[in-house]
Amino acid sequence: MISVAELADGIAALWSVVPTPLIAVAGGAAGTLFGAWLTSRAQHRREIVDQLRALRSLHAMSLVVANQCLAAKRQQIAPMLATYTQAKKDFELYLAGPRAVPFPIQFEFHDLPQVNAPLAAVEKLAFEKCDLGPKGLSATAELRSATESLNRIIIARNELLSELRASKMSDRDVLFRFFGLRNPDTRTIDERYPSMVEALGLTANDGIFFARQLGQECVRHANARAKRFRWKYSGLPYKRLEDADWSRAIKEGLIPPDADYISWSRGFREEVPTVWWRMKKRSPAAKAEP
């Protein structure tokens, strides 16, 4: 059997006969490969840090849009809906009664402001800077659609109210158009305004829901990515991302129920965990993590 000393002497003898140029080439190649590895590692770390920052920025933008939709619903749409619904019931009861006195007219004729959401910034971050997955990207697209639809309905409502204000119809005829009821004098029904009132509430809910969904996806992906790479790149400049506190809005009844969007949510399958992930989750170290 060859001893360790004999093996070392053999390697030294073999190395002594290797040409010096070949040694230089081998050393240079090793140095080049090591330098390329370090460069690739540093570049990948920068990409991870940039993505984490982009996800944090996108989360902030989603909160901006959600708060704008919540403000529109709280300050304008919800009070208008409540007043309109009650006034319509009162008018229907008035029509069914003796009509001894004229109906007290209560028109919501003030214009509504549009929602000025930073949609361009949201889409740029979501589609170009972040890796959100199908659900996050779909929420981004739905958020734009909901916000633009809300603004279109607001514009159409304001224009219809301007038309009613400028019309020379009697207060009675305006009431029938305002509440979308059949006018017995003209035998016509104009349901544009009640349809717009209902659509305002629905599209505002859409904006709130999809903005929240986008924010939740940002939180999930950012924290998962930071946890995945923290062992590889120690000292990642990342603080755990937390979702906003929606308890007040929920208490006020401003947050639409998730059950209204169950058909949309069911379109996305959860990621199937790999065997390595399952083994890692069962390890004592993983169970000890908070």
Q: Give the per-residue SS3 of 259-275.
A: HHHHHHHCCCCCCCCCH
Mind listing the pLDDT tens digit of every residue in the chain (290 residues)? Answer: 566 566 556 655 655 555 666 555 555 555 555 455 446 555 656 777 778 888 989 999 999 999 999 999 999 999 989 988 888 888 888 888 777 677 776 666 788 899 999 999 999 999 988 888 889 999 999 999 999 999 999 999 999 888 888 888 887 888 888 888 888 888 888 899 899 999 999 999 999 999 999 999 999 988 888 777 676 666 666 678 888 899 999 999 999 999 999 999 887 776 555 555 555 555 554 544 44
Structure letter (DSSP) for residue 263: H
Q: Please, which residues bridge with residue 183 across strands?
A: 188
Structure letter (DSSP) for residue 113: P
Residue pair 261/128 in contact by the 8 Å Cβ criterion: no
Amino acid at 30: A
Q: Please, which residues bridge with residue 188 across strands?
A: 183
Closest by CA to 203, choosing from 83, 69, 81, 110, is 69
Residue 184 token pair: 């017995």
In sequence order, the 6+-apart residues with CB closer than 8 A to the CB of 201 are 73, 77, 78, 81
Closest by CA to 145, choosing from 82, 99, 211, is 211
φ, ψ dihedrals at 183, nearest 5°:
-85, 115
